[in-house]
Amino acid sequence: MDANEFLTEINAAYHRLEMKQTEIVHALFHRAFEITSGWYNGHYHKSNDGEWCRESYPIPVTSVNSVCDIEIQFDKIYVSTKLKRDVVLAYSFEKMADYQFEAYGVKDYLADYYHQGETIQDLKDAINCCNEDEIGFSFTFPFEIDGKQIFEFVKLLRREGFYY
């Protein structure tokens, strides 16, 4: 592959991200949310062998003031938010049962407290043993989710007391 073909592929991939960011921003804009957007590198993901990897390339991130960050990756969309430790311990998570999420430390963001497939009691047991004052949550959505669905989810987060 020559440089021009490579740049054409990169531009196509980033155009797709830009279009998804535009869709999400449009769905949230002027709807009782204050939002900002930008492109950021330095995000982390877990490799297939379970190790944390830092990514150097930028992705679009839309911040919903006081509620969450929406990170648009090439294959998925992640909504990051948090709760106070004592709230997590008291929260039933019934309204989050249909959503795929992980929980991690805010001070030590590489500390995992919950993965899909574990029980909510597993999450609470892990939180009982940690020193964190706040617990971070990352909700995972397919890239194809539309902006209106993200808008409805952000409203749910706000109603349930999640913040950022």
Please write the tens of the pLDDT for every residue from 108-124: 888 899 998 999 999 99
Runs of H (alpha helix) within the chain: 3-28, 85-90, 120-128, 147-159
Residue 153 CA to residue 146 CA, distance in Å, equals 11
pLDDT for 162:
98
pLDDT for 124:
96
Both structure tokens of 65? 């003031």
pTM: 0.93
Q: Do 55 and 43 contact (CB within 8 A), yes or no? A: yes
How deeply is 64 buried, as exposed, middle or buried, from its count of CB atoms within 10 A (0-12, 13-18, 19+)?
A: buried
pLDDT for 10:
94
- What residues in the chain have per-residue pLDDT under 70? none
pLDDT for 142:
97
Orientation of helix 147-159 relative to helix 3-28, angle to 10°: 50
Residue 91 CA to residue 7 CA, distance in Å, equals 47
**Phi and psi for 57 in degrees, rounded to 5?**
-75, 145
The predicted-structure confidence for 43-71, as pLDDT tens digits, reads as follows 887 778 878 788 999 999 999 999 999 99
Strand-pairing partners, residue 64, are: 35, 68
Residue 77 CA to residue 60 CA, distance in Å, equals 10
Residue 146 CA to residue 155 CA, distance in Å, equals 15
